[in-house]
Structure 1
Amino acid sequence: MPEEEINYVFVMLCLGALVIALVVIILIKSVSLVEHLYSYFYKKPLYTHFYFRVKKLSPQHQEFLKQNFLFYTRLSTKQQRFFQHRLVTFVAHKSFEGRDDFEITEEVKLYIGATAVMLTFGMRNFLLNRLQKIIIYPDVYFSTINKVKHKGEFNPHLKALVFSWKDFLEGFDNDKDNVNLAIHEFMHVIQINTHNHKNISAVIFSDANKELENLLKQDHLRHKLINSRYFREYAFTNRVEFLAVLVESFIESPQVFEQNFPEFYKKIKEMLNYHFAGY
């Protein structure tokens, strides 16, 4: 083949590749624009779950979820498969470390991972990339961050979440008091994880959070919150703690929450994209 023809073919291949790349970029941008418009009106992503191969838990671990997570039992069969897939994936992506001779068992990983999956089940991005390590003590521990004893905390600089296992379990033993250490601390992780992120779930979360804060500025709603004593006083420490406490109540007593504070309930539901049974 003459050199001129080779050059021509090469140029045409390059142009073809460039056109294909541009078409792909335009399609991606168009889908992103459509989804943002969709989320603006409907307050949720176009889709949440899409997996090439769904991973499954063992029958024994599936039974563990049924016995310990009411949330899981409320899901449809299809949603339960997605929950299992996310749980297997989440646990595989995190490091679990025991302190003071605490033993990391499969049950420990399932309990912790299922809590994270429950809270992010309505979000497309669920791996919480700003969390890498989960450290568990058998009981309250001495925090090197603020030099006091703690039940749990999230260190965003070390990407580490720390729990007292005793207090972790107590949060699930009583699911009617609106106090759950695991839910509370994972909400701090989610807040950090969605900060300044551009994925659609993070955008929806952040927008709803801003609207939630605007509701809190309304005197009559703020006074109603405080006087009701439905939320414990710790909720009014700051806005970060306020959201974490609200989500504890949202998960444990959604019907009471909706009945008494429908405005706040609606925003939490939007933030978590909870559009399924029980919520």
Structure 2
Amino acid sequence: MPARILSIPFVLGAILFLFLAWEAHSSYSIYVVPFVIALAFIYILSPQINWWWWTRRPPDMPPKLRGLLERHLPYYQHLADPEKLRFRRRVRLYMEANDFMAKGMDEVTEDLKAVAAICAVQLTFGRKDFLLSKFEHLIFFPQPFPSPQYPKNYHASEIYEEDGAILFSAEQLMKGFLEPHNFYNIGLHEYAKVFERSYPEFGFPPLTEDHWLELQQISGFSQAWIQQWINLDPIPLRPVSIVHFFTWPAAFQAQLPELYAAYARLFNQSPGKAGTPVLGELV
């Protein structure tokens, strides 16, 4: 952590003058005070210090987490090498910028953090601001869970806008990411909802109930199956359509060319395009 590195000389200075106060003369103790004050400021400002450092020297993902992209994410595999590096750096920055909390489990593992961050970065890869900062609290349960919003439903995911929180079942999140053609990706689903709420001024294209059948033809997932997988009623159509846009881009473009073009403009990217999905400059 950059803030911890910055604090090292102040820790050593405080220790030095404490030693002198103990061994030589007690008057040296007064010189400890500035070092303690500096350390307190570093502690308070450590998130800002760390973020300032990371945005200027963005870290890459460690090799173990990078394997999630290389083995399981066609979206990433189609990127040109410079875009792959930018994608990995954004994932790592997202992991550092947000608050990850475990409920009913010992900790949020690094692969869970990475999968959630990957889903977010996919949606925002065409934008300069990629953090979706209105929702910075990510809460993970080991399996489907009830919540104050849905106390009777053991469900896989939800967002709680008042607290800026996104809630996931770790089991369903990982299955949807690792096997997107067998299980619906709740990570993309919830971040699609977050994206829509983060940018209410955007002109989202209209949808009709007929789109449910067309989306089923693309993925094989029926409206009833997705609803059962998440276990909330009703399931909004908008995020489901966005999940399909990112997960099955070629089939989506063939089945729904006008909606594909509208989403490509909205997200400033064409996920089925080889080399780089971003359309022009970041917006």
Residue 171 (str. 1) matches residue 176 (str. 2): yes
> Where does 1:123-134 land on structure 2 (aligned, <5 Å)?
123-134=127-138
Give the SS at the match of 1:135.
strand
**Distance in 2, Cα, partners of 1:270 & 1:238:** 30
2:243 — aligned with what? Answer: 248
Give the SS at the match of 1:140.
coil
- What one-letter code is carried by the residue in structure 2 that aligns with 1:253? W
Q: CA offsets, 1:180-199, max 9 Å, x none?
A: 11110111111111125xxx
Cα pair distance change 1:86/1:61, threshold 3 Å? same
Choose the corresponding residue for 1:150, options 130, 147, 155.
155
- What one-letter code is carried by the residue in structure 2 that aligns with 1:249? H
> Where does 1:4-83 land on structure 2 (aligned, <5 Å)?
52-83=56-87
Cα pair distance change 1:258/1:96, threshold 3 Å? same
- What one-letter code is carried by the residue in structure 1 that aligns with 2:222? R
**Distance in 2, Cα, partners of 1:91 & 1:259:** 34
**Distance in 1, Cα, partners of 2:156 & 2:268:** 28
1:260 — aligned with what? Answer: 255
Choose the corresponding residue for 2:112, options 84, 108, 124.
108
Q: Which region of structure 1 is more displaced relative to structure 2, 187-196 or 55-64?
A: 55-64
1:48 — aligned with what? Answer: none
Q: CA offsets, 1:192-216, max 9 Å, x none?
A: 11125xxxxxxxxx12x0xx11xx3
Cα pair distance change 1:88/1:252, threshold 3 Å? same
Residue 273 (str. 1) matches residue 268 (str. 2): yes
Where do 5+ consecutive residues of structure 2 fail to align? 1-54, 278-283
Percent of aligned pairs with the same amino acid: 21
1:69 shift after superposition: 2.0
Q: Is the 8 A contact 1:171 1:181 kept in 2?
A: yes
Residue 138 (str. 1) matches residue 142 (str. 2): yes
1:124 shift after superposition: 1.6
**Distance in 2, Cα, partners of 1:168 & 1:226:** 22
**Distance in 2, Cα, partners of 1:134 & 1:176:** 25
2:211 — aligned with what? Answer: 225
**Distance in 1, Cα, partners of 2:141 & 2:209:** 38
TM-score, scaled to structure 1: 0.67
Where do 5+ consecutive residues of structure 1 fail to align? 1-50, 197-205, 217-221
1:176 shift after superposition: 2.3
Q: Is the 8 A contact 1:178 1:253 kept in 2?
A: no
- What one-letter code is carried by the residue in structure 2 that aligns with 1:195? P
**Distance in 2, Cα, partners of 1:180 & 1:66:** 18
**Distance in 2, Cα, partners of 1:79 & 1:239:** 37
1:219 — aligned with what? Answer: none
1:161 — aligned with what? Answer: 166
**Distance in 2, Cα, partners of 1:249 & 1:81:** 25
Q: Is the 8 A contact 2:213 2:222 kept in 1?
A: no
Cα pair distance change 1:246/1:155, threshold 3 Å? same
Choose the corresponding residue for 2:190, options 176, 185, 188.
185
Q: CA offsets, 1:89-114, max 9 Å, x none?
A: 11111010111124211111111111
Q: CA offsets, 1:162-194, max 9 Å, x none?
A: 000111122123322582111101111111111
Q: Which region of structure 1 is more displaced relative to structure 2, 146-155 or 160-169?
A: 146-155
**Distance in 2, Cα, partners of 1:223 & 1:101:** 39
Cα pair distance change 1:64/1:238, threshold 3 Å? closer
Q: CA offsets, 1:46-80, max 9 Å, x none?
A: xxxxx754432223332332123221111111001
Give the SS at the match of 2:162.
coil
Alpha-carbon RMSD across the aligned residues, in angstroms, is 2.7
**Distance in 1, Cα, partners of 2:257 & 2:234:** 19
**Distance in 1, Cα, partners of 2:108 & 2:102:** 6
Give the SS at the match of 1:154.
strand
**Distance in 2, Cα, partners of 1:70 & 1:58:** 19
Q: Which region of structure 1 is more displaced relative to structure 2, 55-64 or 265-274?
A: 55-64
- What one-letter code is carried by the residue in structure 2 that aligns with 1:225? H
Q: Is the 8 A contact 2:158 2:166 kept in 1?
A: yes
